[in-house]
């Protein structure tokens, strides 16, 4: 099976089909029946900033990546099937799924409490390490 041919050298996607499962009995989802909640901007991996812009993806800080000749969101960006799904949602081709920004747990809870199924995929939260100077005052690094 051919991979996606991106620099990540992933193996693309696999097609799983269970011959004993009746795929006709799957639910028929309507427009926006499936909600994907996210905390912050959705990061998408691109091999070059120019490729992202050509693809219509501009939800990134130009100051952080404009001078960079390398990757856009190389560690945190969506790839493979997730990237294809995101692009289909944004293009309006996948109408069953909507993206809902919920930066706080309180906002997320409203959707989670009313959902039949929840798959939590909010990404990583980094633990900050406090660094103190010789007077035990917190130092700020940004």
* pLDDT confidence of residue 85: 94
The answer to whether residue 35 sits within a structural domain is yes
User: Which is higher by pLDDT, 88 or 3?
Assistant: 88
Domain range enclosing 86: 28-43+78-113
Instruction: Spell out the alpha helix ranges (H) of 2-98.
Output: 49-54, 62-65, 80-91
The answer to whether residue 107 sits within a structural domain is yes
The answer to whether residue 5 sits within a structural domain is no
As a whole number, mean pLDDT of residues 113-124 equals 76
The answer to whether residue 96 sits within a structural domain is yes
* pLDDT confidence of residue 17: 63
The answer to whether residue 85 sits within a structural domain is yes
The answer to whether residue 89 sits within a structural domain is yes
Task: Tell me how far CA of residue 25 lies from CA of 8, 19, 21, 22, 60, in angstroms.
Answer: 36, 14, 9, 6, 40
Tally of structural domains, the chain: 1
* pLDDT confidence of residue 87: 94
The answer to whether residue 9 sits within a structural domain is no
What's the token pair of residue 21?
């499962």
Phi, psi (rounded to 5 degrees) for 84: -60, -40
As a whole number, mean pLDDT of residues 42-67 equals 84
* pLDDT confidence of residue 101: 92
At residue 131 the predicted structure's pLDDT band, cuts being 50, 70 and 90, is confident
The answer to whether residue 34 sits within a structural domain is yes
């Amino acid at each position: 099976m051919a991979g996606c041919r991106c620099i990540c050298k992933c193996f693309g996607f696999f097609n799983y089909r269970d011959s004993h499962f009746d795929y006709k009995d799957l639910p028929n989802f309507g427009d926006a029946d499936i909600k994907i909640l996210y905390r912050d901007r959705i990061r998408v991996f691109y091999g070059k900033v120019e490729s992202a812009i050509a693809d219509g993806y501009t939800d990134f800080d130009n100051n952080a990546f404009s001078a960079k000749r390398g990757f856009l969101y190389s560690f945190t960006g969506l790839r493979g099937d997730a990237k294809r799904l995101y692009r289909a949602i944004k293009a309006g081709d996948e109408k069953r799924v909507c993206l809902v920004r919920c930066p706080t747990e309180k906002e997320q809870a409203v959707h989670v409490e009313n959902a039949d199924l929840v798959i939590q995929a909010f990404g990583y939260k980094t633990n900050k390490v406090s660094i103190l100077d010789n007077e035990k005052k917190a130092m700020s690094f940004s």
